[in-house]
A and B are shown apart, each in its own frame.
Chain A
Amino acid sequence: MSDPLVRAAGINKDFRTGGDMFRRARIVNALCGVDLNIRRGETVALVGESGSGKSTLGRILLRLIDPSSGTVYFDGIDVFSLKREPLRRLRRRMQIVFQDSYGSLNPRMRIGNAVGEPMEIHRMASGDALRKRVGQLFEEVGLDPSYLNRYPHELSGGQRQRVGIARALAVSPDFVVLDEPVSALDVSVQAQVLNLLAELRDQRALTYLFIAHDLAVVRHLATRVVVLYRGRVMETAPVAPLYESPAHPYTTALLDAIPVPDPTVARERLALTEGTIDDYGTAGGCVFASRCRHPSKDDRCRIEQPTLVELGEERTAACHYADVSTKE
C-alpha cells in the first residue's frame, strides 16, 4: 500500500462561543482527535449532520483554518510547517468546491475570467494560451463556450456548480475537497454533477474528499466512507460494506433517514432518528448515546466513551456494541 496523499493526525479544533466581560465563553470541541488517511485516487466521503465538524475538517486539510492541535501531511509534507512561498506552491495541488456556488463566485466577474484567474495567480498561463485553456475547461465540465462572458447570476445552479468545478480544476490539482457540491441542487441536476465529478476523477486521476450529509448521494462516487458525529469519527468503512452492514448505530440512523422513493414502504421508515446533534447530557460517555437506538444501549454508553476499534477489512467503529452483522 502506498503512502497516503493526505494524512491528518490527531486533529483537534476548539471554537470559543459566546462569553463577554462577565460570562465565561463556552468551548466547543468541533473536532476531537480525528485521524484521516486519503490514498491517491481514493474518494473518501466524509458524512455527518450539520455541526458534526465535517466542513471544519475539510478546511483544515487545505490549511484554510488552523487546528488547535494535530497536523496534516500532504504528500509527506507537513502542511502547517510551510512558509508563505512553499505553501503557495502547494496550494496549487489542493483545491475546493463549495456548496454555495453563488456565494463562492464573484458576482461582478465574468465566469470565463473566474475560471482563468487561478491560472494567472499561479502563473501557469497567460494571453492566448490562457484563453485556450479556459475554453478547454469549459468543454471538460460541460459548459457551452458561448457562456464565457456571462455573469454568475445568468446561470442556473447546476451550471454555476460546473463553473466552481472548472475553477478548482484550472490549476490541475491532485486533491479536491468537495464540500456538499450537490446539496443545493435539484435531484435531476445532482445526478448530472455527480456523473461529471466521477468522469473528471477518472480522466485526471484525482483524489477527492467528498463532504455530504446524505449517504445516498455519496454512494455513487465514494470508495470509502468516514462518518463523523460531534467532531468524532464514529465509523470508517469501504463503501459497499458500510451500506450492507453498518457497524455504528449512527450510520444506521443516517441510512434510515434517507427517503425511500417507494410509497409502499416509505411511511414506517420516517419516524427514525429523533433528537438533534445539539443534544448534550452525555458527559464522559458516548456522544451519540442520547439519540442512540441500539437495542444493547446501557449505562456503559453513558459513562464510558467508546474508542475507535478495528473490525477487520479496513473497518473501524467507535461503539461498545459495534457489530458488522447487526443489520439484517
Chain B
Amino acid sequence: MTTLLDVRDLTVHFDTAGGRALAVDGVSFRIDPGETVGLVGESGCGKTVTALSILRLLDGEAVTSGASVIEFEGINLRNLEGEDLRAVRGAKIAMIFQEPSASLNPVLTVGLQITETLHAHRDIDRHAARTRAIDLLDLVGIPEPDERFRAYPHQLSGGMQQRVMIAIALSCEPKLLIADEPTTALDVTIQAQILSLLHDLKTELGMAMMLITHDLGVVAGMADRVAVMYGGQIVEEAPTRQLFASPQHPYTRALLDAIPRLDRVTDRLPAIPGSVPPATAWPSGCRFHPRCSKRLERCATDAPDAFTAGPDRYARCWLAAPDQAAAP
C-alpha cells in the first residue's frame, strides 16, 4: 500500500517576545489510506501546530524549517500555492476542530455552509448541492435533515453542531480527515455518539483519519496506531494495542495512569507532577525528565534518540535504548 501522508522532519518555530518557541521539532510520521492514527499529548505539546502545518493553515508568524517535508499522495504540500493548495484543502484533506460553535458561521444556515464547500470544490448546480447537503446531514445522523438544512448553528446543540462540522468536512469525500479534539467540548454521552459516528463513517467511506486528543481513552477504541507527543516531539509511536499493553515511554505510562477509571479505585489519582514547560524553554536532555518518575542521571543532559522498541514501534527514552535492555 502506498502511503497517503508522509510527514518527515517537520520543524516549526515562532519568534515570540519570550524568545524562540520551538513548537514542533523534527516530527515524522505516516498515515496509510484508510488508517486512523491517534496523536496524543497534553496541551502545549505541539499536536495542533503539527495538524495545522499539514494544511498550511499556520499564520505568518510560524516558520517551518526548509528541510520539513509534508508529502500527500506523493506531492510535497509545501511546494503548492494558490489554486493547487486550495484543491487539496477541504477537498482531499478536511479538518474538524474542538469548538464547533466557533468554527461555524453564526449568521449562515448550516445548509448554506455545506453547499458553499461543495460549490468551492465541485462543478455542481444549486439543486444538486442542496440534495447532496441533505444527504450528508442524514449521513451524520441529524434527524429531519430537510428542516435542519435551514437551521442556524445556535439552534443546534453542541453535539449536533459537531455533526454539521463533520458533514461539511465529508462533503467532498476527503482522503484524510484531521479531527483536532473533536469531542473535548462535549458531554461524555455525546462524545460516545460522535466517536461512534466517526468510526462508522471512516469504515464506510474508506477515509484515513488523524485523531488528535489529550485523552488516551478516546483513541483506544478508534486508532490503529498512536503517536504520543511531548515537548514538540513524538516520544513514542506504536500500534494501539501494543501501546496500551506495554507503553515504553514513562510519559505514555503516566498519561494512561492519569485516566480516571471505573474499574480501579485508588485513594489518590496518579497525576503527572508539574506542567508542560513553555516551548521557549524546553528542558535539556530528555524534555520530559523534570516530570519523569523513572529518570536516570543521563536524562538531564543527553537527549535520547528514537529507539526501536519492537516491530513498528519506537520510544524516545533511554530506558528503551539497546544498552538499557540488560540493566535492571
Contact = CB atoms under 8 A, between A and B. Distances in A.
Chains A and B form a bound pair: yes
B221 A266 contact: yes
Contact of A261 (B159, B195, B241, B259): B259
Interface string B236-269: 0000110010000000001110111110011011
Contacts of B44: 156
A259 B220 contact: yes
A276 interface: yes
A269 interface: yes
Given A189-B42, A276-B157, A261 B261 contact: yes
A234 to B, nearest CB: 13
User: Chain A interface: which size bin?
Assistant: 35 or more
B270 A259 contact: no
A49 interface: yes
Nearest to A155: B275
Interface stretch (A56-64, A74-82, A208-216, A312-320): A208-216
Nearest to A243: B262
B103 interface: no
Contacts of B281: none
A129 interface: no
Contacts of B284: none
Nearest to A182: B260
Contacts of A157: 43
Contacts of B217: 187, 258-261
Contact of B241 (A256, A264, A276): A264
Contacts of A276: 157, 159-160, 190
B193 A262 contact: no
Contacts, number: 136
A219 interface: yes
B323 to A, nearest CB: 30
A267 interface: yes
A272 interface: yes
Contacts of A264: 241
A269 B221 contact: yes
Nearest to A198: B268
B304 interface: no
Interface in A121-176: 156-159
A158 B275 contact: yes
A53 to B, nearest CB: 14
Nearest to B192: A257
Nearest to A158: B275
Contacts of A260: 217, 220-221
Contacts of B241: 263-264
Interface string A265-306: 011011111101010000000000000000000000000000
B271 A188 contact: yes
A261 B193 contact: no
Given A49-B189, A276-B190, 20 more contacts: A49-B190, A50-B157, A157-B43, A187-B217, A188-B258, A189-B42, A189-B275, A191-B260, A192-B271, A192-B273, A198-B268, A213-B188, A214-B187, A215-B262, A254-B189, A258-B217, A258-B262, A260-B217, A261-B217, A263-B221
6 contacts: A188-B214, A188-B271, A190-B269, A257-B188, A257-B189, A258-B262
Q: Which 6 A-B pairs have the closest CB atoms?
A: A266-B221, A191-B271, A259-B217, A191-B269, A257-B192, A192-B271
